Amino acid sequence: MVTVTGPIVHPLPDVVRASAANAAFEHLKLRPQPSTAQAKALATLDIVHREMEDAPKKAAAAKVEYLRNKLMAIKLAAGTATATGDLKFARSALHDIRSLTKELTQALKDAGIIKETGLPGDPKPRTDATADELGQAGEDARGLIKDLRKVLSKLRLALVAAQIRGASAEEIRAAEKQLRDTEKELQSLSSSLSAKGGGHALDLRA
């Protein structure tokens, strides 16, 4: 019987195997440096990505400007209602303010400037937005809300004038409810635009 002898192979210590595995893993994590063409393509993609992020806010800013133009007609109706005590003009103006508020709210939601409006059943309104996050659209929206507040103040006077003119108690109550509902929706939007430590929600009762 012939016995063949050879070198004895000893198993690698665990520490050596672990070290080799770690080295291989680190090597896999290394990313190759992009070529000049790849670097330019990545830079272009980054620009496109930023433009896509800014596009909704630009659209919201354009919407706010459009709504500001609609406000001119509302101011005219409110002025007529205050001067004449015509309840129909007053209620028409209130209806238009409420519609404008809803359009403005939707535009700001679409742009990601606000998440919700604080209406019953909604989550808590966003209160951590900075001025940079709100952008021009958010600041313009605040200005528009301020102007709408002034119109509502005129419409309160219009309701008083309508009562003096002889409008029925039932008509006045209906108009007052419409005014309160409009105030609530505008206040809710104002609260959603309030930045933490950067301003206060508009007091529509002033």
| pTM of the entire predicted model | 0.63
Contact 56, 137 (CB under 8 A): no
Quick one: tokens of 49? 């990505």
55-74 pLDDT, tens digit each: 777 777 788 888 989 999 99
Would residue 5 count as lying in a domain?
no
Domain of residue 202, residue span: 69-206
Q: How far does Cα 1 stand from its chain's mean position?
A: 90
Would residue 127 count as lying in a domain?
yes
Q: How far does Cα 37 stand from its chain's mean position?
A: 38
Contact 147, 65 (CB under 8 A): no
Identify the pLDDT of residue 29: 54
In the 8-state DSSP scheme, what is residue 35?
P
In the numeric block, the tokens 């009762």 are attached to: 205
- Other Cβ atoms within 10 Å of 165 Cβ, number: 11
The total number of structural domains in the chain stands at 1
135-184 pLDDT, tens digit each: 778 888 999 999 999 999 999 999 999 999 999 999 999 999 999 999 99
d(CA 194, CA 14): 60
Higher-pLDDT residue of 164 and 114 is 164
Would residue 47 count as lying in a domain?
no
Would residue 89 count as lying in a domain?
yes
Would residue 187 count as lying in a domain?
yes
DSSP 113-182: S-S----TTSPPPP----HHHHHHHHHHHHHHHHHHHHHHHHHHHHHHHHHHHT--HHHHHHHHHHHHHH
